[in-house]
Amino acid sequence: MKNKIIITTDNDQSLKYEKSGWSYFLMVPIMFILTFWVALKKKIFGPNLKINTLWFDGISPACREVKENATSWRALDIIYKYIPGQDKSFGGKITDFWNQLKNIMAMRNRLKLVKKKLKETIENLLIEGSEIRLISIASGSAQGVIEIMKEFKKKGVLIKAILLDLDSTAIEYSRKLAEQAEITNQMTFINKSARELIEIAKGFNPNIIEVVGFLEYRPREKAIELMKRIHYLLTPKGVMLTSSISPNLESLFSYYVGNWPMFYRNSKQFIEIITEGGFKPQDIKIIYEPLKIQKIAVCQKST
């Protein structure tokens, strides 16, 4: 039992997680038909179609913007800010339809879950009297990190953070969010690659490293290399929060129609990457959001 990894599903009702309803079963045949059609078009005309399908990025401006910015912070920002029924046009109704996809809802669920676990991690470290020093790798908009930092600042807890992202637009956007939250003086914004992590973090001694929404785009060996760097940098009893997406019914739709390729991993594959990166099984907890598509790992470095 000593090396048993805890795997749970978070169903905290206060977080108002999104869950799919019966209407999802009506979406499935439409999704498969469009996936087949777009895959055929791409085989004939090449992968870079201006419009993948009229019924996704053709009519809906929001879906088109997500497709054109797939895998980036901008696409996630659109998904996070989605308000059902806000756009009354036909394109808005198409957007509402596709926002019922489980993958989309699971992304918003992941944000809620990460914020909850990040808050718990900070509270646990504070009990031990630790100063909180956080690094967010491939930080994107850093919305969750910034919101939690703002919440703790109101309690008188000042968290030092480094936001690291190769995309300069992500750094600019997160800087604006930090200014609005009035925590800019607690943050360092670095527009560089995660390959430079060791040099960037020198002397910072992070006790939290957050890398959510990044392993999904890293092949196995590169993901393991990153885990090793994170494990090396963390202080004893420091914590890493990271994420993974599970194989699911919508994977091909995301790839062909949404132009959104990812590495889908089950919990066993996810755990193997983390343990080969240096974390011990007894120090790893895997938590799924209710749709069981997105999962995060909370991993503590042994003393």
Cβ of 296: how many Cβ atoms within 10 Å? 24
Q: What pLDDT digit, counting tens, does each position of 66-85 carry?
A: 999 999 999 999 999 999 99
Q: What is the average pLDDT score of the chain?
A: 96
Q: What pLDDT digit, counting tens, does each position of 282-302 carry?
A: 999 999 999 999 999 999 998
Q: What mean pLDDT is predicted for residues 98-125? A: 97
pLDDT score at 303 = 72
pLDDT score at 1 = 44
209 has pLDDT over 50: yes
Q: What mean pLDDT is predicted for residues 148-169? A: 97
Q: What mean pLDDT is predicted for residues 2-8? A: 85
**127 exposed, middle or buried (CB, 10 Å; 0-12, 13-18, 19+)?**
exposed
Cβ(66)–Cβ(79) under 8 Å?
Answer: yes
Could you tell me the pTM of the whole model?
A: 0.96
130 has pLDDT over 90: no
Q: What mean pLDDT is predicted for residues 152-160? A: 96
Angle between helix axes 73-80 and 61-68 (nearest 10 degrees) is: 150
Please state, in angstroms and rounded to a whole number, the distance separating the CA atoms of residues 70 and 67.
Answer: 5
CATH superfamily placement of domain 106-300? Vaccinia Virus protein VP39 (3.40.50.150)
223 has pLDDT over 70: yes
Q: What mean pLDDT is predicted for residues 133-144? A: 97
pLDDT score at 2 = 56
Confidence of residue 4 (pLDDT cuts 50, 70, 90): confident
The domain segmentation of the chain, as residue ranges, is 17-104, 106-300
